[in-house]
Amino acid sequence: MAEEKALNDQMVARRQKMKALVDDLSIDPFGHRFDRDALAADLHEQYDEKTQEELEANPVEVIIAGRMVAKRGAGKVIFADVRDRSGEIQVYARRDDLGDNYPIIKRADLGDFLGIKGQVMKTEAGELTILVKHLTHLSKALRPMPDKFHGISDVETRYRKRYLDLIANKESLTRFQNRSKIVSAIRAFMDGHDFLEVETPILQTQAGGAAAKPFITHHNALNIDMYMRIATELYLKRLVVGGMERVYEIGRIFRNEGMDPKHNPEFTTLESYAAYWDFTDVMDETEGIFRAAAKVVHPDLQVNYQGTDIDLSKPFARKHMVDLIKEKTGVDFWPEMTVEEARQLADEHHVKYERYWQVGHIINEFFDNFVEDTLEQPTFVYGHPVEVSPLAKKNADDPRFTDRFELYIVGSEFANAFTELNDPIDQRARFEAQAAERDNGNDEAEGIDEDFLEALEYGMPPTGGLGIGIDRLVMLLTDAASIRDVVLFPTMRPE
């Protein structure tokens, strides 16, 4: 009774039609397995250029299946549009041809799934069409389709009910199809360069590999707290220690932090590690990955993102962080200075800082405030201060900085990479400095991972590591303004 009260008139009518399928036609409203031999896009590709006369002279029979998304006509003749995973095609049903089979399409509602056997033809208007010879009812839609397939404009509905978004918005369906192609292209690139795809733990006993707040859970059998991983880095490096010289993982990461157009609590990254490489080799790798991914969507490597033209065909710029700060602000951090001198520069330029910050933290904040948003074309920014790079190797010529880079495009970070720190003594000191920061109020600082330090003590070869945000890359390549537009089921507050 409660369910019946919740039904509107359209839903009641659809249930009545469902009952009529059983009572009048002895048809199961929710169908069975069906063999088709053609997709809409393939038919358009093969026959759109054929004339009406050519198709009549060489008749072709096909079997298609899909959701009915439009319906025109009544009485003895009905035209309908049927959509499958590749696109849409028109069908033409005549009562004189179908006889007792005709009521299936006559009674069908928008959203119903139909199986159709018919002949390829052209209408007088020149539209490729399937002349229906036999119909099979495959599934009844008990709710009306959104906005008659004109799209869903309400953003909340699009994110909460992605299935309706995919039904109603062709742009969304295409974007997610392209996402899969992009990820496949990345895998093909990595596999083609002798990287081995692996899987590492999502539940971990210690969160590490990034400065981020973890989600915490409890394992009842072991009676211990565990953490959803905030990065795959430390486990992948263990594999390099073990002799897997080139490894990568594409997987979910979880961070218990804020949400905005660029951040979702769970997201996807690519991380890779290559023995005997340094961060300059990884720059070359990164360019290769971006071009391989872009080609499946933009074969000419020209991308327009939110009105900005991006050229991925040219070599990416490579600039030191301190040089960029000097270009934008005139402030020169190359000479060595005390924390007090750096704080004075920060005060003069209205840059806020925390009490535990060292010179490197302030340099990084200058970059964030004055440079990051200005980098439109692909730019590798290297030379991050050691204070903000606890897992990167120090630069041999100037140990204040590390051999690390981040890739920026249209003012956003897309990749983070460095020559990995493989000195266990230095790594312990960095971890201890991070632990001290945590004690001084930085709740995103890493703790000391004793197991990882032990692994390093067995020896890790010089290694170049890379992390790429897959979601942001898909945003760039599909012109999506929000990360929620490229994550099928983004995190939402319960209604």
For residue range 468-479, what is the model confidence (pLDDT) as tens digits?
A: 999 999 999 999
Query: Mean pLDDT lowest for which of 50-64, 89-103, 156-170, 332-346?
Result: 156-170
pLDDT over 60 (residue 150): no
Q: What is the pLDDT of residue 426?
A: 93
Give 304's strand partners.
309
Split at pLDDT 50, 70, 90, the class of 435 is: confident
What tokens appear for 366 in the block?
Answer: 């200058």
Q: What is the pLDDT of residue 1?
A: 43
Q: What is the pLDDT of residue 430?
A: 87
Distance between CA atoms of residues 297 and 376, nearest Å: 20
Q: State mean pLDDT over 57-63.
A: 97
Q: What is the enclosing helix (H) or strand (E) of 243?
A: none
Split at pLDDT 50, 70, 90, the class of 149 is: very low
Are 393 and 402 a contacting pair, CB within 8 Å?
yes
For residue range 261-290, what is the model confidence (pLDDT) as tens digits?
A: 999 999 999 999 999 999 999 999 999 999
Q: What is the pLDDT of residue 433?
A: 87
The larger pLDDT score, comparing residue 374 to residue 209, is at 374
Q: What is the pLDDT of residue 5?
A: 57
What tokens appear for 448 in the block?
Answer: 């000391």
Are 303 and 294 a contacting pair, CB within 8 Å?
yes
Q: State mean pLDDT over 403-432.
A: 95
Q: What is the pLDDT of residue 146?
A: 81
Split at pLDDT 50, 70, 90, the class of 151 is: low
Residue ranges of the annotated binding site for Mg(2+) are 406, 413
pLDDT over 90 (residue 4): no
For residue range 183-223, what is the model confidence (pLDDT) as tens digits?
A: 999 999 999 999 999 999 999 999 888 888 999 999 999 99
Q: What is the pLDDT of residue 292?
A: 98
Q: State mean pLDDT over 35-45.
A: 98
Split at pLDDT 50, 70, 90, the class of 177 is: very high
Strands 203-204 and 266-275: unpaired
Distance between CA atoms of residues 250 and 189, nearest Å: 13
Distance between CA atoms of residues 116 and 135, nearest Å: 5
Q: What is the pLDDT of residue 147?
A: 67
Residue 339: Cβ-neighbour burial (10 angstroms; 0-12, 13-18, 19+): middle
Q: What is the pLDDT of residue 257?
A: 92
SS3 for 373-388 is HHCCCCEEEECCEHHH
Distance between CA atoms of residues 317 and 305, nearest Å: 19
Q: State mean pLDDT over 423-432.
A: 92
Q: What is the pLDDT of residue 39?
A: 98
Mean pLDDT (the chain, rounded): 95
C-alpha pair distances (Å), 206 with each of 248, 256, 271, 338, 362: 21, 15, 19, 34, 29
Q: What is the pLDDT of residue 2?
A: 47
Residue ranges of the annotated binding site are 406, 413
Q: What is the pLDDT of residue 174?
A: 96
Query: Mean pLDDT lowest for which of 72-76, 234-238, 259-263, 269-273?
Result: 72-76
Q: State mean pLDDT over 72-85.
A: 94
- Altogether, the residues listed in the chain come to a count of 495
Strands 216-219 and 246-254: unpaired
For 16, residues 6+ apart whose C-beta sits below 8 A from its C-beta are none
Q: What is the pLDDT of residue 196?
A: 98
pLDDT over 70 (residue 344): yes
